[in-house]
Amino acid sequence: MLSNSIRILIVDDEKEMRQLIETYLLTENYEVYHAVNGEDALDFLFVENVDLIILDVMMPEMDGFTACKKIRQHYTTPILMLTAKSDELDKVRGLKLGADDYVMKPFSPKELLARIEAMLRRSKQSFFDKLTSTNVVIQKSAREVKVVGEKINLARREYDLLVFLMEHAGQVFSREHLHEVVWGIDSEKGTLRTVDTHIKTLRYKLNLAGDTIKTVWGIGYKFED
């Protein structure tokens, strides 16, 4: 087990199945939360953060496939899908929609817990390589930026500005400080006006997420989700 502070959301319309899975998870000291369908899960995720989602495929109102797709539009939380079907096409469909792993019912407690721990371990290893907000995801090792799931192209300084601001979300930095960090303390390239110009183009390229870069009048800029 990785940590007793890990929060897991179980999404399944069958009360008995939710309780059974909860029993397994509580033996490993995970914090457990419940949702009865995809809509319920999305409502929960809007106000609460979790470390992993266990998502059943066959549910009323909103099935697991639809829920998985909608969750992936906004969250990078690891998803383990549950299914009573052994159809390989179902597995492929779930993985293509963004699921991280698949377990077929009936399953053994040991298999379920082992898969959960492996997923959490992978998620922890990639945590420091990834920056996330509601609409922006940065994969630093690939220098890749996605806004609402769509990849965007940023110039070097725009990328460096965004990474620095997201790494220090909520903190306000002066134009002088940003210039020193991104262009270098001894750099003769550009002026403080250059910072303003790059912030402007960065906001434009971020499109729907452009307003996450806030101007703090008289001081500088900050990233705020």
Q: All domains of the chain, ordered by start, with CATH? A: 7-126 (3.40.50.2300), 132-223 (1.10.10.10)
Please provide residue 217's backbone torsions phi and psi, each rounded to the nearest 5 degrees.
-60, 130
Lowest-pLDDT range, 9-13, 31-35, 81-85, 106-110? 81-85
- 126-152 b/e with 16+ CB inside 10 Å = b? eeeeebbeebbbbeeeeeebbbeeeeb
Helices and strands (H and E) in the chain: how many: 8, 12
Average pLDDT value for the chain:
88
Q: For residue 19, name the pLDDT band (cuts at 50, 70, 90).
A: very high
CB neighbours (10 Å) of residue 12?
24
| 22 vs 35: CA distance, rounded Å | 12
For residue 25, pLDDT beyond 70: yes
| Pair 51, 77: CB distance under 8 Å | yes
Q: Of 127 and 110, which is predicted with more confidence?
A: 110
pLDDT for 156-191, tens place per residue? Answer: 999 999 999 998 889 999 998 898 888 875 555 557
